[in-house]
C-alpha cells in the first residue's frame, strides 16, 4: 500500500507534505462555453405577430435564462447570442436619414451622406463617417472619420478612433486605445497626457518616416560618440561660412547673414534670401525661392516683411510671414498665404489654396479654383464659389453666398441673407435664417426663417416650411407637409384662394361653383360608392396582411432550401440564405445580403448596404459599395475593399490588398502581407509593417511611453536624454568585473534587475541572471549558470541549463538533466528540505502503518472502471474523500463510499451515491441526500432538502425548515414539525411515558385526565388568555411595524419592509434597500446599491462603490465620494474644523485667508507690471516719433539730397538727418540716415531700392 502515498509541495503551508493517491491539486473550474463558432446575430424589430414574439421570447428564456420576453433574435449558423444583448441593435428605431447611410442599434443615427452608425446611441453625423460602439459620435464636419469603441469621439475630418472613451479632435489624426486623445493634426496618439503607453515589438525602421526602436537608438548613441570630432569640424566650417558673403551690405544684427544668389537679386535683413533672378527679399528671414530645374524662368518676385516668402515667378509677399507660393500670386498681410496661380490673399492670415482665387479680409480663405471669399473669416472651398460676408461659407462648387454667417454646402447652391444656409444641391435660400437642408435638392426658401427640407420643394414667406418632396408653402407661416402639394397656411391658420377661374383642364383648380355642381351628382350615386368601398377594403385585407412593399418590380425569388427573399427582384439562391432589398442576391449557402443591389456570393458570407459585395467564404462587406473578395475578408465602410485572405478594411474607401493585412481609416491602404495602415490616407506597402501616414503625409505618434524592450518604440524624451549623456560614459564602471567573451552583452530591462554574462537577460523586476545566456524571466527570479532559466515568479534555477518554470520553484536541472543536492542538513522546520535519511525513516514508518494502522481499511474499484475514473477527489480545503469516485468539494467536508459527494463546506456524505450539498449537512445511506443547510438524511434514499431538517428512515423526506421525518416513507413538509408517517400511511407513537416538563409529549392517559380536570379552569381562563393574546399581538404588531422598541418608524406612506439583499448588508426604515455587499441603508426609501455604500436619510441614495449619501434626498453617484445633497439641492457643511492634512477639507476661513494672500501677491505684481508698461509706453512713443521723422529723397536721375526731419508723438520727439542718391539710369535709389529721440536713443538706417517699369 506504499504506492498510495507520495510527497508533494504544499503552496499554502510552504512545505513538503505526504498526500494520498486520491488527492488532487487545486485548480479553477473550466468555464462552459458553446463552440458553435462565427455566428451572425441580428435583432429584428419587424415581428408583428404577438404570438410569434411571445413564443420566441419563451424559447430564448428557456435556453438562456432571459428575463426580457419582448426581445427577439435571429440566429444564423454560429454561436447563440441572447436577444437581450444584441436584439436591440435594430429593435429601437434606429435612424438612417443620410443618403446611402446605415444605422444599427438602439437610437443609432446615421444622418450624413454614406454614413454608418452601429451600436446603442451611435451617431454618425459626418459625411462618409463610420461609428461602431455605444454612445460614440462622429461630429458634423468629421468627414471620412472612423470610430470604433464605446463613448468615443471623432471631432475632425479624416480621423480614426479605436478604443473606448478615445478622442480624435484634430484633422487627419488617429487615437488608438482606451482613453487615447489625438489633438494635433496628422498625429497618431496611443494615450494621453499622464497616461502614456509603450509601443512594443517595433521592427527596426528602414525608411525616413519609419518609427525607430530602442535597439536603433542605442546604435545611434554609439555612432554619435564615435563622430564627435566630425561634428566639431562641421561647426567650424559653418562659422566660417557665416563670417563670409556680406561684402556689400552690413546690418547691426545677431541673426544669420542675408543671401542674394539670384542674378541681379537683392536681399536685405537678417537671414534674408533672394535666390531668384531679379528678385527682392527685404526683412528678417524674408526669401525668394526658385525651382532648381528652371532657375532662369523663375524670378522677378518680391518678399517684404519678417519671414515673408515669394516662392514663384512674379510672386509678391508683403507682411510678416506672408507667403506667395503661386505664379503671379499676391499675399498681402501678416501670415497671409497665396498658394494658387494668379491668386490674391489680402488681409491677416488670409489663404488662397488654388488658382485664380481671391481672399479679402482677415482670416478669410479659399480652396476651390477661381473661388472668391470677401469678409472676416469668409471661406470659399468650392470651384468658382463666392462667399461674401463675415464668416460666410461657400462649401461646394459653383455656390454663391452673401451675408454674415451664411453658408451653401450643396453644389450650385445660393444663400443670401444673415445666417442663410443652402445645404441641398442647386438649392436657393434668400432671407435671414432661411435654410434648405441636405435633402432639399433644387429647393427654394424665400423669406425670414423660411425652411425647405425635401427635394424640389419651395417655401415662400416668413417662417414658411416644407416637409415633403415637391411641396410648396406660400405665405407667412405656411406648412406644406405632403408630397406634391401646395399649402397656403397651416393647421388652425388656413387661407382662402379667391378669384379662381373655373378649371377647364384635368389638372386645373376648380372654384366653388364647380364643386357645388359635383356635390349634387355625388349625392345621387352614394350607394354605388359605398359598394365600391366595401370591395376595396376586402381586397386590402387579403394577400398582404402582414407585409407591405412599395414596388412594381419583379417578384422576389427564394430558390434555396430554407431560403428567405424579401424585396423586388431579390434572389435567395443558397441553402438557408437571406436576401432582403431591391435586387439583393444571396448565392452562397447560409449567405446574407441586405440592401439594394447587395450580393453575398460566398458560403456564410454577409453583404450589408447598397451595392455591398461579399464573394468568398466567410467574407463580410458592410457599407455602401463595400467589397470583400477573398476568404474571411472583412470590409466596413463605404466603398471599402479587401481583396486578400483574412484582410480587413475599415473606413470609407479603405483598401486591404495584402494577405492578413488591415487598413483602418478613410482611404487607408494596406498593400503588403501582414501590413497595417492606421489613419486616413495611410499607406502600408511593406510586409509586416505598420504605417500611420504616407509619403509627404506622415503623422506624429504621440503619448508614447518610454521604451523598455529592444523592439519597443522610443519617445523624444529618451532621444533628448541620450543626446545629453553621449560621451559621458564612466570607464571605471566595470573595473572589478570582467567577461571574456565575443558574444553580445547582457541585457537587464526589468526594474531593479541584474544581468551579468554574455547574452544574459534579466527581463523581470528584481530578476537576477548570472552566466552565459542565463535568463531571469519571472518576477524576482534568480538564474545562476550558463543557459539557466528562471521563468516563474520568485523562482530559482541553479546550474547550467537548469529550468525553473513554476512560481516559487527551485530547480537544479531540467526535464532531461537531473542533479543531486548533496551535503543537505536534516530539515527542522515544516518548510525545510528533507534529506534521504529523513525520507528513509518516513518510509519505515509508512511500512509500519501499512502493516497495522490501515490493515482494516481497504478500497477496491469495480472491474469496469478505468484507473483514471475510480479515484476519490478531495478538492476542498481540509477535505477527505474515500471510495471510488467519491468527491469532497467543500471545505472541511467528508465523502465516504462509492460516488459519495460532499459538495458544501463542513458537509458529510457516507454511503453509495450519498450526496450532502448543503453547508454542514449530513447524508448517510445509499442515495441519501441532504440539500438543506445543517440538514440530516439517514437511510437509503432519505431526503432532507430544507434548512435544519432531518429525514431518518428508508425513503423518508423532510422538505420544510426545521422539520423531522421519522420512519421509512415518512414525510415532513411543514416547518418546525415532526412526522412519523405520510398522508395515508400514518403511524402511532407507542410506549410514551408520561410527560413531566412543559415541552414533553403526553400519553393518552395524561390527555384524558387533563381534559377532564381542566375543563372548568380552561373556561375560566379563556377570557384572560384572549386578553393577553391581544396584548401580545399588539406588541408584536408594533414591533413589526416599527412603532415600538428601540428602533421605531412611522410608515404613513405604507412602504415595503426594508430589504437587505447584499452580503453582510444592513437596511433599516420603511422601503429601505441595501443591495450592495457590506452596504448600509438607514431611513425611509434609503438605497445603498453598491459595495460598501452608506445611505442615511429619507430617499438618500448611494449608487457608487464606497460612496456615502448623508441627508434626505442626497445622491452619491461617484466611487469613494461623500454627498450631502443632490443636483439642484446642495447643502452646506457647517462647524467644519480647519484642515491640517493635504486630504482634509478646508473651511471658509481657510479659503478667505488663501484668497487674501493671493490678492496681495496679485496687487504687488500688478503695480510692478504697470510701472514697466509705463516705461515701455515712453520707449514706444519715442520710437514712433522716430518713425514719423521721415526724410524726403530726390526724384531726378543722378541727383543727391541731404535732408532733415522731425517727429513728435505723445510727448516724445525725434530728429532725423540723412543723405540720399538716385543712380543715373534712375533705377537704383540709396539712402543713409541717422536719428535720435528725446529718450537719448540713437539709431542708424540704410536702404537700397530698385524700381522698374
- Write the pLDDT tens digit of every residue in 250-309: 456 677 888 888 888 888 888 888 888 888 888 888 888 755 443 444 678 888 888 888
Dist CA 262 CA 257 (whole Å): 16
**Dihedral over alpha carbons 439, 440, 442, 444 (to 10 degrees):** -170
pLDDT tens per residue across span 544-591 = 444 456 667 777 888 989 888 888 888 999 998 988 888 999 999 999
Phi, psi angle pair for 869, to nearest 5°: -95, -25
When pLDDT is averaged across residues 1228-1252 and rounded to a whole number, the result is: 80
Q: Categorise residue 237: left if φ over 0, alpha if ψ from -120 to 50, beta otherwise.
A: alpha
Asked whether 563 and 548 are in contact (CB, 8 A), the reply is no
Q: Which of 1028 and 126 is assigned the larger pLDDT? A: 126
| Pairing mode of beta strands 1212-1222, 1200-1209 | antiparallel
**Fold entry, domain 41-189:** Alkaline Protease, subunit P, domain 1 (2.150.10)
| Pairing mode of beta strands 700-702, 683-684 | unpaired
Dist CA 971 CA 985 (whole Å): 10
Q: Which of 330 and 742 is assigned the larger pLDDT? A: 330
Cell numbers for 783: 538564474
- For 481, 746, 1252, the CA distances from 763, given in Å and listed in that order, are 71, 11, 73
pLDDT tens per residue across span 802-844 = 999 999 888 888 988 888 877 777 777 766 676 777 667 766 6
Radius of gyration (Cα) for the chain, nearest Å?
45
1147-1253 CATH, one of 3.30.1300.30, 3.40.640.10, 1.10.3720.10, 1.10.630.10? 3.30.1300.30
In this predicted structure, the answer to whether residue 1091 has a pLDDT above a threshold of 60 is yes
* Whether CATH 2.150.10.10 fits 1056-1129: yes
Phi, psi angle pair for 1058, to nearest 5°: -65, 145
Dist CA 807 CA 791 (whole Å): 8
pLDDT tens per residue across span 676-713 = 888 889 899 989 888 888 888 888 777 777 778 777 77
Q: Rounded to two decimals, what is the model's pTM?
A: 0.30
Residues paired with residue 797 on neighbouring β-strands, in sequence order: 783, 811
Pick the closest to residue 150 from 139, 168, 166, 128 (CA basis): 166
Cβ neighbors of 1248 (< 8 A, separation 6 or more) are 249, 266, 268, 1228, 1229, 1230, 1231
Dist CA 1011 CA 1006 (whole Å): 8
Place of cell 514706444: 1180
Asked whether 129 and 650 are in contact (CB, 8 A), the reply is no
Secondary structure class of 326 (helix, strand, coil): coil
Asked whether 174 and 700 are in contact (CB, 8 A), the reply is no
Same fold, 41-189 and 1147-1253: no
In this predicted structure, the answer to whether residue 5 has a pLDDT above a threshold of 60 is no
pLDDT tens per residue across span 1205-1215 = 888 877 888 87
When pLDDT is averaged across residues 1226-1248 and rounded to a whole number, the result is: 80
pLDDT tens per residue across span 863-909 = 444 444 567 888 888 888 888 888 999 998 888 888 889 999 998 88
Cβ neighbors of 77 (< 8 A, separation 6 or more) are 36, 39, 576, 590, 604
For 362, other C-beta atoms within 10 Å of its C-beta total 18
* Whether CATH 2.150.10.10 fits 874-980: yes
Lowest mean pLDDT among 510-524, 912-926, 1051-1065: 510-524
Q: Could you tell me which CATH number the domain at 423-491 has?
A: 2.150.10.10
Instruction: Report how far Cα 151 is from the mean position of its chain's Cα atoms.
Output: 5
Pick the closest to residue 697 from 678, 714, 710, 716 (CA basis): 678
In this predicted structure, the answer to whether residue 380 has a pLDDT above a threshold of 70 is yes
Cβ neighbors of 241 (< 8 A, separation 6 or more) are none
Query: Domain 752-825+833-847 has what CATH class?
Result: mainly beta
In this predicted structure, the answer to whether residue 1196 has a pLDDT above a threshold of 60 is yes
Dist CA 926 CA 858 (whole Å): 19
Secondary structure class of 1121 (helix, strand, coil): coil
Secondary structure class of 1181 (helix, strand, coil): helix
1073-1107 burial, b at 16+ Cβ within 10 Å, e below that, comes to: bbbbebbbbbbbbbbbbbbbbbbbbbbbbbbbbbb
Pick the closest to residue 1188 from 1221, 1217, 1219, 1213 (CA basis): 1213
Asked whether 1102 and 1088 are in contact (CB, 8 A), the reply is yes
Asked whether 920 and 936 are in contact (CB, 8 A), the reply is no
Dist CA 609 CA 128 (whole Å): 13
Cell numbers for 876: 476542498
Lowest mean pLDDT among 500-509, 1194-1203, 1227-1236: 500-509
Cell numbers for 759: 547574452
677-708 burial, b at 16+ Cβ within 10 Å, e below that, comes to: bbbbbbbbbbeebbbbbbeeebbbbbbbbebe
Dist CA 1075 CA 1020 (whole Å): 52
Secondary structure class of 754 (helix, strand, coil): strand
Residues paired with residue 162 on neighbouring β-strands, in sequence order: 148, 176
Provide the pLDDT confidence category of residue 602 given band limits of 50, 70 and 90: very high
Pick the closest to residue 596 from 609, 577, 614, 615 (CA basis): 609
Which pLDDT value is given to residue 383?
A: 92
Secondary structure class of 528 (helix, strand, coil): helix
pLDDT tens per residue across span 976-1001 = 887 878 888 887 776 656 666 666 56
When pLDDT is averaged across residues 1009-1031 and rounded to a whole number, the result is: 53
Q: Could you tell me which CATH number the domain at 557-698 has?
A: 2.150.10.10
Domain range annotation of the chain: 41-189, 423-491, 557-698, 752-825+833-847, 874-980, 1056-1129, 1147-1253
Which pLDDT value is given to residue 714?
A: 72
Q: Categorise residue 367: left if φ over 0, alpha if ψ from -120 to 50, beta otherwise.
A: alpha
Amino acid at each position: 500500500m506504499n504506492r498510495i502515498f507520495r510527497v508533494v509541495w504544499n503552496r499554502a503551508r510552504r512545505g513538503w507534505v505526504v498526500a494520498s493517491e486520491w488527492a488532487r491539486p487545486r485548480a479553477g473550474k473550466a468555464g462552459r462555453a458553446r463552440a458553435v463558432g462565427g455566428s451572425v446575430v441580428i435583432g429584428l424589430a419587424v415581428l408583428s405577430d404577438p404570438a410569434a414574439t411571445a413564443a420566441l421570447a419563451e424559447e430564448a428564456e428557456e435556453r438562456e435564462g432571459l428575463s426580457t420576453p419582448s426581445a427577439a433574435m435571429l440566429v444564423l449558423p454560429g454561436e447563440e447570442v441572447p436577444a437581450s444583448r444584441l436584439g436591440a441593435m435594430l429593435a429601437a428605431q434606429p435612424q438612417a436619414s443620410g443618403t446611402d447611410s446605415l444605422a444599427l442599434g438602439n437610437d443609432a443615427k446615421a444622418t450624413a451622406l454614406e454614413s454608418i452608425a452601429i451600436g446603442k446611441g451611435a451617431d454618425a453625423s459626418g459625411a462618409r463617417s463610420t461609428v461602431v460602439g455605444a454612445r460614440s459620435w462622429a461630429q458634423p464636419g468629421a468627414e471620412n472619420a472612423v470610430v470604433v469603441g464605446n463613448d468615443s469621439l471623432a471631432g475632425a475630418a479624416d480621423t480614426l478612433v479605436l478604443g473606448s472613451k478615445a478622442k480624435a479632435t484634430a484633422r487627419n489624426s488617429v487615437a488608438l486605445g482606451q482613453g487615447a486623445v489625438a489633438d494635433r493634426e496628422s498625429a497618431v496618439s496611443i494615450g494621453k497626457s499622464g497616461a502614456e503607453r509603450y509601443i512594443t515589438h517595433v521592427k527596426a525602421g528602414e525608411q525616413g518616416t519609419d518609427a525607430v526602436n530602442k535597439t536603433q537608438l542605442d546604435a545611434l548613441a554609439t555612432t554619435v560618440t564615435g563622430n564627435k570630432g566630425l561634428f566639431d569640424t562641421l561647426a567650424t566650417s559653418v562659422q566660417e561660412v557665416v563670417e563670409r558673403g556680406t561684402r556689400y551690405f552690413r546690418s547691426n544684427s545677431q541673426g544669420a547673414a542675408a543671401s542674394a544668389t539670384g542674378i541681379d537679386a537683392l536681399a536685405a535683413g537678417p537671414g534674408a534670401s533672394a535666390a531668384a533672378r531679379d528678385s527682392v527679399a527685404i526683412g528678417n528671414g524674408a526669401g525668394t525661392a526658385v525651382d532648381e530645374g528652371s532657375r532662369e524662368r523663375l524670378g522677378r518676385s518680391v518678399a517684404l516683411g519678417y519671414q515673408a516668402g515669394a516662392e514663384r515667378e512674379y510672386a509678391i509677399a508683403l507682411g510678416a510671414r506672408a507667403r506667395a507660393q503661386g505664379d503671379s500670386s499676391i499675399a498681402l498681410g501678416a501670415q497671409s498665404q497665396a498658394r494658387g496661380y494668379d491668386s490674391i490673399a489680402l488681409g491677416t492670415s488670409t489663404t488662397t489654396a488654388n488658382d485664380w482665387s481671391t481672399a479679402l479680409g482677415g482670416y478669410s480663405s479659399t480652396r476651390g479654383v477661381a473661388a472668391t471669399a470677401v469678409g472676416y473669416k469668409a471661406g470659399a472651398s468650392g470651384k468658382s464659389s463666392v462667399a461674401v460676408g463675415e464668416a460666410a461659407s461657400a462649401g461646394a462648387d459653383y455656390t454663391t453666398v452673401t451675408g454674415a454667417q451664411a453658408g451653401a454646402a450643396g453644389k450650385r447652391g445660393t444663400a443670401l441673407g444673415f445666417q442663410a444656409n443652402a445645404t441641398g444641391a442647386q438649392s436657393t435660400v434668400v432671407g435671414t435664417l432661411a435654410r434648405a437642408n441636405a435633402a432639399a435638392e433644387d429647393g427654394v426658401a424665400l423669406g425670414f426663417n423660411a425652411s425647405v427640407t425635401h427635394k424640389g420643394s419651395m417655401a415662400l414667406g416668413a417662417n414658411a416650411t416644407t416637409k415633403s418632396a415637391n411641396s410648396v408653402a406660400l405665405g407667412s407661416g405656411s406648412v406644406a407637409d405632403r408630397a406634391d402639394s401646395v399649402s397656403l397656411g397651416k393647421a388652425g391658420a388656413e387661407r382662402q384662394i379667391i378669384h379662381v377661374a373655373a378649371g377647364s383642364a384635368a389638372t386645373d383648380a376648380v372654384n366653388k361653383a364647380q364643386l357645388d355642381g359635383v356635390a349634387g351628382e355625388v349625392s345621387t350615386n352614394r350607394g354605388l360608392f359605398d359598394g365600391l368601398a366595401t370591395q376595396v377594403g376586402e381586397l386590402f385585407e387579403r394577400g398582404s396582411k402582414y407585409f407591405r412593399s412599395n414596388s412594381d418590380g419583379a417578384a422576389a425569388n427564394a430558390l434555396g432550401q430554407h431560403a428567405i427573399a424579401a424585396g423586388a427582384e431579390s434572389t435567395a439562391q443558397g441553402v438557408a440564405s437571406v436576401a432582403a432589398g431591391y435586387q439583393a442576391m444571396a448565392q452562397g449557402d447560409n449567405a446574407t445580403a441586405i440592401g439594394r443591389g447587395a450580393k453575398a456570393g460566398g458560403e456564410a458570407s454577409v453583404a450589408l448596404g447598397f451595392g455591398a459585395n461579399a464573394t468568398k467564404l466567410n467574407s463580410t462587406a458592410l457599407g455602401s459599395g463595400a467589397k470583400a473578395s477573398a476568404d474571411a475578408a472583412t470590409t466596413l465602410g463605404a466603398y471599402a475593399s479587401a481583396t486578400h485572405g483574412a484582410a480587413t478594411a475599415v473606413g470609407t474607401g479603405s483598401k486591404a490588398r495584402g494577405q492578413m493585412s488591415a487598413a483602418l481609416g478613410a482611404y487607408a491602404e494596406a498593400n503588403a502581407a501582414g501590413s497595417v495602415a492606421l489613419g486616413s490616407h495611410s499607406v502600408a506597402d511593406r510586409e509586416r509593417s505598420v504605417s500611420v501616414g504616407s509619403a509627404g503625409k506622415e503623422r506624429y505618434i504621440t503619448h508614447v511611453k518610454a521604451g523598455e524592450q529592444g523592439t519597443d518604440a522610443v519617445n523624444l524624451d529618451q532621444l533628448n536624454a541620450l543626446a545629453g549623456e553621449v560621451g559621458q560614459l564612466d570607464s571605471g564602471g566595470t573595473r572589478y568585473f570582467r567577461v571574456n567573451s565575443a558574444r553580445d552583452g547582457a541585457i537587464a530591462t526589468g526594474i531593479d534587475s541584474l544581468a551579468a554574462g554574455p547574452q544574459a537577460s534579466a527581463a523581470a523586476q528584481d530578476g537576477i541572471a548570472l552566466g552565459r545566456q542565463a535568463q531571469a524571466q519571472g518576477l524576482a527570479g534568480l538564474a545562476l549558470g550558463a543557459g539557466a532559466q528562471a521563468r516563474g515568479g520568485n523562482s530559482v534555477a541553479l546550474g547550467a541549463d537548469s529550468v525553473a518554470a513554476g512560481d516559487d520553484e527551485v530547480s537544479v536541472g531540467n526535464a532531461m538533466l537531473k542533479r543531486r543536492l548533496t551535503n543537505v542538513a536534516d530539515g527542522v522546520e515544516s518548510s525545510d528540505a528533507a534529506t534521504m535519511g529523513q525520507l528513509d525513516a518516513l518510509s519505515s514508518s509508512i511500512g509500519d502503518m501499512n502493516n497495522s494502522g490501515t490493515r482494516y481499511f481497504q478500497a477496491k474499484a469495480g472491474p469496469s472502471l478505468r484507473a483514471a475514473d475510480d479515484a476519490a477527489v478531495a478538492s476542498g480545503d481540509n477535505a477527505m474523500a474515500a471510495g471510488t469516485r467519491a468527491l469532497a468539494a467543500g471545505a472541511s467536508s467528508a465523502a465516504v463510499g462509492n460516488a459519495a459527494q460532499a459538495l458544501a463546506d463542513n458537509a458529510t456524505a457516507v454511503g453509495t451515491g450519498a450526496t450532502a450539498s448543503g453547508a454542514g449537512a449530513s447524508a448517510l445511506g445509499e442515495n441519501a441526500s441532504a440539500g438543506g443547510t445543517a440538514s440530516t438524511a439517514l437511510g437509503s434514499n432519505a431526503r432532507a432538502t430544507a434548512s435544519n431538517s432531518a429525514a431518518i428512515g428508508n425513503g423518508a423526506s423532510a422538505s420544510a425548515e426545521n422539520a423531522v421525518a421519522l420512519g421509512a416513507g415518512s414525510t415532513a413538509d411543514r416547518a418546525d414539525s415532526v412526522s412519523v408517517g405520510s398522508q395515508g400511511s400514518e403511524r402511532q407513537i407507542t410506549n410514551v411515558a408520561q410527560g413531566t416538563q412543559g415541552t414533553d409529549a403526553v400519553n393518552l392517559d395524561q390527555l384524558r385526565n387533563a381534559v377532564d380536570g381542566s375543563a372548568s379552569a380552561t373556561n375560566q381562563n379563556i377570557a384572560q388568555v384572549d386578553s393577553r393574546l391581544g396584548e401580545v399581538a399588539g406588541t408584536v404588531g408594533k414591533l413589526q411595524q416599527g412603532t415600538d422598541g428601540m428602533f421605531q418608524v412611522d410608515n404613513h406612506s405604507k412602504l415595503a419592509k426594508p430589504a437587505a439583499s447584499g452580503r453582510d448588508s444592513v437596511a433599516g426604515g420603511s422601503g429601505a434597500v441595501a443591495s450592495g455587499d457590506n452596504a448600509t441603508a438607514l431611513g425611509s426609501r434609503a438605497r445603498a446599491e453598491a459595495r460598501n455604500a452608506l445611505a442615511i436619510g429619507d430617499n438618500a441614495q448611494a449608487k457608487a462603490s464606497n460612496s456615502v449619501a448623508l441627508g434626505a434626498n442626497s445622491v452619491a453617484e461617484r466611487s469613494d465620494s461623500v454627498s450631502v445633497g443632490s443636483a439642484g439641492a446642495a447643502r452646506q457643511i457647517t462647524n467644519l474644523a480647519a484642515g491640517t492634512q493635504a486630504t482634509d477639507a478646508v473651511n471658509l476661513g481657510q479659503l478667505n485667508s488663501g484668497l487674501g494672500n493671493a490678492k496681495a501677491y496679485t496687487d504687488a505684481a500688478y503695480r510692478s507690471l504697470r510701472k514697466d508698461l509705463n516705461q515701455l509706453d515712453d520707449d514706444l512713443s519715442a520710437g514712433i516719433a522716430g518713425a514719423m521723422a521721415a526724410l524726403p529723397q530726390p526724384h531726378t536721375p543722378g541727383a543727391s539730397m541731404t535732408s532733415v526731419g522731425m517727429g513728435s508723438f505723445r510727448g516724445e520727439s525725434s530728429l532725423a538727418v540723412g543723405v540720399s542718391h538716385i543712380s543715373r539710369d534712375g533705377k537704383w535709389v540709396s539712402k543713409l540716415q541717422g536719428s535720435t529721440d528725446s529718450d537719448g536713443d540713437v539709431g542708424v538706417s540704410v536702404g537700397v531700392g530698385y524700381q522698374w517699369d
